[in-house]
Amino acid sequence: MSRFLVPHFNFKALPDTHLRENLCPHQPLPPQRLLQCSTSASHSTSNNYRPAVILPGLGNNSGDYHKLEQTLEDKYGMPTVVAKVSRVDWLRNAAGLVDPNYWRGTLQPRPVLDWYLKRVDDAVQEAKLLAQQQDASISLIGHSAGGWLARLYMQDFELSHHVSLLLTLGTPHLPPPKGVAGVIDQTRGLLDYVEKNCSKAVYTHQLKYVCIAGRYIQGAPLWGSSNSVANAEFAVPAGEGVNMKPESGSTLRGRIVGQGYKQVCGEAEVWGDGVVPQVSAHLDGALNISLDGVYHSPVGSDDELRPWYGSPSVLDQWVQHLLH
């Protein structure tokens, strides 16, 4: 069954006129969040950074991003909100199974994904309350599928005109190639829809797209010889002194990871973050960045041997895009 419809957790393997609508009425913040708003605003008086909204990836919940949220707030004084998503929420995507377009591979994102887009809109409204100025712009940080879901949000929702930066972390932006043996579009047409109907990436003064890819492990074909099997498979950040030598069984790991890469980009022997190939995480027109030694998910990662995009040492390499 599609990974899009049922979350796939892999803890070891190592994104004319358009309808705009607001699916949810404004909900008042709870007292503890109002206190946090006041504290964050006071903390950031001298910085006046635009608030950031973190959009969870497929299978992740809001708690997975708590450390990233706290680092942005405590170290940089940046008001930050994580869209409220639980792991169970992702089972809502199974509604797509009753849509004939799912079986044809032409599934459209709405109404199947309206539940997620509503959570994004709630978070954006909350972030605007954190802003010191009523007309302040917002940064969206989309992890994995959260990156292309952010593009859907920006296409269809009224509050998206406040977004001045979309920064994606390991997002599979591009649909898999057609006609490649053994490749099945796990989004069942959703990424085709995004590519054809959502605005193209830009990097302008008014709106910036920044797409960050990780180079953690090189995939290998399932059968036969491979350069990535013969050589070291893990990318180590220069000067970091981190020991990420291939572990026992790393050849098998490279072949397994390679099969995941193939489903996303049509090739197994490419570099990626353990889930999403580097080539799929970049967009024409965006500022595209690749970081060595960066793993895909906060789940199954750590800040030392297997840092993910939100680990403090990695955050330091891209946070400047949120500050300007």
Amino acid present at 321: H
Q: Which residue has the tokens 């830009």?
A: 202
77, 27, 114: which is closest to 322 by C-alpha?
A: 77
In a domain, 243, yes or no: no
Establish if 237 belongs to a structural domain: no
Closest listed residue to residue 166, CA positions, set 185, 196, 186, 194:
194
Number of structural domains the chain divides into: 1
- In this prediction, residue 11 carries a pLDDT of 33
pTM attached to this predicted model: 0.80
- Residue pair 128/161 in contact by the 8 Å Cβ criterion: no
**In the prediction, which pLDDT does 10 show?**
40
Q: Which residues contact 177 (CB under 8 A, 6 or more apart)?
A: 183, 265, 266
Quote the percentage of the chain above a pLDDT of 70. Answer: 77
User: Could you tell me if residue 234 is inside a domain?
Assistant: no
Residue 150 in domain: yes
In this predicted structure, the answer to whether residue 14 has a pLDDT above a threshold of 50 is no
CATH of the domain at 197: 3.40.50.1820
- Exposed e or buried b per residue across 10-49, where buried means at least 16 C-beta atoms within 10 angstroms of its C-beta: beebbbeeeeeeebeeeeeeeeeeeebbeebbeebeeeeb
Angle (CA) 186-15-82 rounded to 5° is 110
pLDDT digits (tens, 9 = 90+) for 156-215: 998 888 999 999 999 999 999 887 888 888 889 899 999 999 999 999 999 999 999 999
**Each residue of 92-143: pLDDT tens digit?**
888 888 888 888 888 889 999 999 999 999 999 999 988 867 678 999 999 9
Asked whether 66 and 40 are in contact (CB, 8 A), the reply is: no
Question: Whole domain around residue 151: which residue ranges?
Answer: 52-220+250-322
Q: Would 86 be classed as within a structural domain? A: yes
The answer to whether position 309 is within a domain reads yes
Q: What is the pLDDT of residues 47-91, one digit of tens each?
A: 678 999 999 999 999 999 999 999 999 999 999 999 999 999 999
Q: Is residue 239 part of a domain?
A: no
Gyration radius (Cα) of the chain, Å: 19
What is the per-residue pLDDT across 282-306, written as a single tens digit (0 to 9) for each?
A: 999 999 999 999 999 999 999 888 9
